[in-house]
Structure formats: structure tokens, C-alpha cells
Amino acid sequence: MASERKGRVAAINGNMVAITFDDYVIQNEVAYVACGADRLKAEVIRVRGDKAEAQVYESTTGVKVGDAVTFTDALLSVELGPGLLGQIFDGLQNPLPDLAKECGFFLKRGVYKDPLPDAGQWDFTPSAKAGQKVRAGDKLGTVPEKIFKHAIMAPFDLKGEWEVAEIVGAGRYTLKDVVARLKDANGKLVECRMVQTWPVKVAIKAYAEKFMPTEPLVTKMRLIDSLFPVARGGTYCVPGPFGAGKTVLQQLISRHADVDIVIIAACGERAGEVVETLKTFPELKDPKTGKPLSDRTVIICNTSSMPVAARESSVYTAVTIAEYYRQMGLNVMLLADSTSRWAQAMREMSGRLEEIPGEEAFPAYLESRIASFYERAGVVRLYDGTMGSVTIGGTVSPAGGNFEEPVTQATLKVVGAFHGLSRERSDARRYPAIDPLISWSKYPSIIDVREIAAGHAILRKSHDVGQMMKVIGEEGTSLKDYVDYLKGEFFDFVYLQQNAFDPVDEATSAERQKAVYGFIYKNVLQADFAFTDKEAALHFFHQLRQLFRGWNSAAQDTGEYKKIQDEIQALIETQLKSKKDGERA
């Protein structure tokens, strides 16, 4: 810090304080507001003349006009280095388990802990050599972290090429030990440590090139992967009413998606779901490694004592950590639950700043803020040719399930896939409750385009016939329309829905999805069944549904799987044979 700059509290409005100062203040600079013996962390969000407004990330009870404010010359930042995986942080990157040990059940305000422990030592193995040319983000060495080799990288803010002046040998070092020194063309030296600090509202761009996402990301949720796919490095949103299954769906995706690292940002302060996540994740086995799922997970969640403004910091903290692991050539998924709470925090602060409101009192810059967050996703090629990606999935909780509200609409403008949850499907216990009639995706699927089109068509036809039957009854429906209705219901029941309590059915591999979808397309959706009456059609599809339920629970490449498949094939062939016999007669 060059010199300590001071200010004074001029006004207080909830967790926003107005500050007068004599020197200068930087936008988004961190400041500390003195309240007795406590120093409350704040971030400058607006500067006008000799006054600044700052949002305080703690309760402002007891803060008075005239209290001292200290500016730090540092932007709101996070520490990036070994030790992040398996951690549970709040939005300011305080390790919550450490806070709980020090403060007890009720966390005290003004207590801040180092995100990464200084005392621990890590086994560093150098990969760069003295005299080698490096750029920002290039690997200098590695240390083991959980199941990964954690890359120690050149500082992300370097410009141009630098030469490795010296680098330590293999050994055990603390995070703050200097492991390398870099030199530029003018002889300027930069010290490199295993930990570096980065401002959360500035994207990490230490890579050679960024690409449009094109490769499907397999989540092992059939409804998503087949009909409304997500791309590796892409973006998607999951809006839906309360209780429709957003959080459970995110937890399933975090367990089974084909990614290396999962970052969970519980930015909505939803205590029940957060507690469930914190209790469940350490006990869950990672299907990919057999080790605890927490070994490749970072959880960011705010405490209930933190003000609404802290929701914003948690979103940015999470995406910065995601970008950090992308710089190592890893595939990262960031799940934000729920971005509606973040938008509400922006609305609250905008109101206190007395800004001109936009639609439903949200700030006029709502769309640009949401867009800038999702734009930090993407596939990148690093300078050494390695590829890495960040995929962002955000849930939205529109009041009353109204998808026309500003947050949902602003999100839909920037994401590549829309998985809309419906109250009707969740009430009918059709999980995942993604409505296939309103959802969409711009990304390529693992399923053939013609087969996808047939699936969408039969679902729309089935829904239309179902709505018609609610008015005129089953008796007024033709046999052909009724069969189309049963085909759509069958497809929904046996393929789109998954049983999260079944160890086999809760996650379906890409290979199995292709095989089963192709089987259904060829033998059911495209089949020209001829039934004598509606009762015969209903009986046939009921039998088929029961067999498929057992098939979904059978592990692939087992005798049971093949046996049930043969039984399904035999049932379908029997029905088609009876049709041919009827035609000959």
C-alpha cells in the first residue's frame, strides 16, 4: 500500500454508506469502515466528486456518521492457488469452517480469514527452466492437489514474453515462498509464488484464443443431452417456480456431468438447500473416481447474517475461481443458484443509489451485468496449446413462475440453452421437470437431427391431443390421434423422465442414450401400429412402459439388459405381426 488514505462516513442507508474523502478513491476499491473495534469490509460502487458510495458486506448496525473509513488501493479480489478444492467459502472467500471454529454457531462480523493457509507446505515440481520464455498463465511447475496436478502459473497480468531468470528445484514450499523470478527485456524482475491475487470483476484472459462452444457436454440427464443439449464451454439457464426441482437438478448435474471441476455458487441464501449440499457432498462418492465428490468441488455460499449485497460478490468469486482452473487446461462447470437473488441485490443497491429504475424497478444496466457474467464462459486455447473450458449454468427463480419478468428475459438473450421448468410437470412428478414444449437449445446434440425432430413432433402432437381430450373426452378422439397421444406419453415416461433414486437410471451415458433413443425412434415413434380399439392400444403401451422401466434400471452390457431388450423387441414384433395378419385377412 503506497499510503493509507482515509475518509469519513457521511450517511448510512442500510448496508450502503456515503463517504467523504480528501485524496482519491478508485471504483470497486475495497475499504474498511470502522465500527468500534470492528473493521467492516466494503466495496466502492460509485464515486462522484469528493464523495463515494460503498456497499458494506456486513451489518451496519452501530455505524455512525463521522466513523473512519480506510481505503486499501486494492480491488475486491480472491486468492488463487493450491488448496481451493474441497473448500467452502462465503462470497468474500472466507473459509466458513475456519470461521465457525473461531466464532462458534453465530458468526461475528468483521472477522476475515485467509482463504488459503500460509503454514502448509506443498510438493512443488518445476516444469520451466531458467532462460525459458514464458507468457502470462504459462505453467512454471505443478503441485498435487486432491486428484489433480495443480499448475503453478506465471502471473496473469504479465504483458508480452518474459524470461525465467531463476526457478527453485523440486521440494516442499509454502504458498508465499518465491518459486521463480521472471525478467522482461528491460531487466525488470517479477517474483512468482504459488498463490496469486486477482480482482473478481476482471476476467482472466491469459490465453491465446477463445472459441465458440461446439462440442456437446454430456450431463447424463437424457432430457438435456438428447433434446436440449449443453455445449462444453457454453451457457444455459434453468428458470422455474419454487419447488420445481432446480436445486436437485443442479446437484445431479454436478455429480455426473463430464467435467473436471465443479464450482457451486449458492448466491441465493437458500438455507435449506445450502445445508443439504454442505452435508451431502462430502459423503457422496464421485462416480468418476470413487473418491469424495468434494475433492473436485468448490462451494461458495453466503451466511444468513450477510446482507443482500454479498450475493453479488459470491457470483464473481465463483466465476473467477472457475477461470483459474480453466487456465490449467481443465474443464470447469459453474452452477449459480439462483441468479434472481443476485439481480434482486442489484435492484436493492440501485434503489439506494437513487438511480433511474428500469422495468420492475431493476436497474437499467441489468442486462449488461448478466451478459458480462455469462460471457466469462467459453472454450480457450492456452499458449502451450492445451484446451480448457468454463461452462456456466444459472438457475432463475421468477416470481410465480413468470418467464416474462426482466431477469429471465435478460438471461435468455445471452445463454445458449433454455431449460424451462414447469409447475405442471413437477406437480405430476415428472422429473426432471423441464418442459419439452417451451425449452430450446442452440447447441448440437449427441442424437441425430432427424431423430430429435421426430421426438419433438410426437411430444407436441401428444400434448395437443391430450388438451383436446380434456374438452371432448377420449371418446371423441380418433384411434390414430389416440395412438399418437400414447406414443408421446410413452416417450416422456420412459426416456425424458429419470429416477434419481435408482443407481443406474439416475445417470445415462452418451452411448446408452444414443442406443436407447435410436431404438425408440425406429421401433416405436416411426412404427405404424394398427390396433383394433383404444383399449388394445392402451394395454400394449402399458406393457411396453413396464418393460422399459425395468430396462432403464438394468446396467448396460449385462445379461438382464439384453434379456429385457429382447422382450421389448418381441412384444413390438408381435403387435406388428398381428397388424400384418389383419391386413392379409
Is 394 flagged in the annotation as binding? no
Output the CA angle 63-27-313, nearest 5 degrees: 70
Cβ atoms 518, 524 nearer than 8 A? no
> Per the annotation, does 242 bind a ligand?
yes
Hey, do 79-114+208-441 and 449-584 end up sharing a CATH topology, with the first three levels equal?
no
What is the CATH T-level fold of the domain 79-114+208-441, as seen in this structure?
Answer: Rossmann fold (3.40.50)
Contact 408, 426 (CB under 8 A): no
Residue ranges of domains in the chain: 5-75, 79-114+208-441, 121-194, 449-584
Q: Residue 164: helix, strand or coil by DSSP? A: strand
**Cα–Cα distances in angstroms (integers) from residue 270 to residues 65, 274, 397, in the given order:** 33, 6, 12
240 is in an annotated binding site: yes
CATH topology for 449-584 is 1.10.1140
CATH code at 5-75: 2.40.10.170
Residue 241 labelled as part of a binding site: yes
CA angle 239, 243, 245 (to 5 degrees): 65
Strand pairing partners for 13?
16
Neighbours of 214 (CB within 10 A): 12
562 is in an annotated binding site: no
- How far is 443 from 417, CA to CA, in rounded Å? 7
Domain 121-194 classification at class level? mainly beta
Q: Is 247 among the annotated ligand-binding positions? A: yes
- What separation, in Å, do the N-terminal and C-terminal C-alpha atoms of the chain show? 95
Across the strands, what pairs with 262?
Answer: 297, 333
From first to last of its 585 residues, the chain has per-residue pLDDT tens of 446 799 999 999 999 999 999 989 999 999 999 999 999 999 999 999 999 999 999 989 999 999 999 999 999 999 999 999 999 999 999 998 888 888 877 788 889 999 998 778 999 999 999 999 999 999 999 999 999 999 999 999 999 999 999 999 999 999 999 999 999 999 999 999 999 999 999 999 999 999 999 999 999 999 999 999 999 999 999 999 888 888 889 889 999 999 999 999 988 655 556 666 777 777 778 888 888 888 999 999 887 777 877 888 999 999 999 999 999 999 999 999 889 989 999 999 999 999 999 999 999 999 999 999 999 999 999 999 999 999 999 999 898 889 999 999 999 999 999 999 999 999 999 999 999 999 999 999 999 999 999 999 999 999 999 999 999 988 899 999 999 999 999 999 999 999 999 999 999 999 999 999 999 999 999 999 989 999 999 999 999 999 999 999 999 989 999 999 999 999 999 888 765 665 554
Rounded to whole angstroms, the Cα distance separating 567 from 400 reads 45
* DSSP states of 196-212: EEEETTS----SSEEE-
Grid cell for residue 288: 468418476
> Any binding-site annotation on 476?
no
